[in-house]
Amino acid sequence: MILPFKWNVGSKLGDGKQYLPWIHLDDLIQIYLKSITDQNMTGAYNAVAPDHVTNSEFTTLLAKNLRKKLWAPAVPSFIIKLLFGEMGNLVLKGSRISSEKLIRAGHNFVCQKLDDTLEKILSVKK
């Protein structure tokens, strides 16, 4: 998702109101390790950060952390559907997924807030 922003053409997708689940790789690895070693972890868990953000919020934060301006119009929904077919619906509808079960299981997120996480990731890549 970074490339369009680096080219100064990053923008939100559709209306931007759809929730965009995210997780930092460090947290994902810790969740995998905990699930292997903790016999109390049974069933399905949502590997997502506790910070719920919309596509619009994500777009704004990504642009801010890359020090880019958002000037391009939103990518229209019909373009997303044309490019991705049925998968376009997933992109446009999004999902607000809870990490509460992971937190109750004792996972302490290293990266809880998207803004801090993007700053951490992007400062390494610069």
| The pLDDT of residue 123 | 78
Q: Is the pLDDT assigned to residue 126 strictly greater than 90?
A: no
**CA angle at 89 for the pair 87 and 90, rounded to the nearest 5°:** 70
Residue whose tokens read 């995998």: 32
| β-pair partners for 29 | none
What is the average per-residue pLDDT within 71-93? Answer: 92
Q: How far apart are CA 52 and CA 114, in angstroms?
A: 9
Domain ranges of the chain: 2-125
CATH homologous superfamily of 2-125: NAD(P)-binding Rossmann-like Domain (3.40.50.720)
Alpha carbon 35 to its chain centroid, in Å, reads 22
Read off the pTM: 0.85
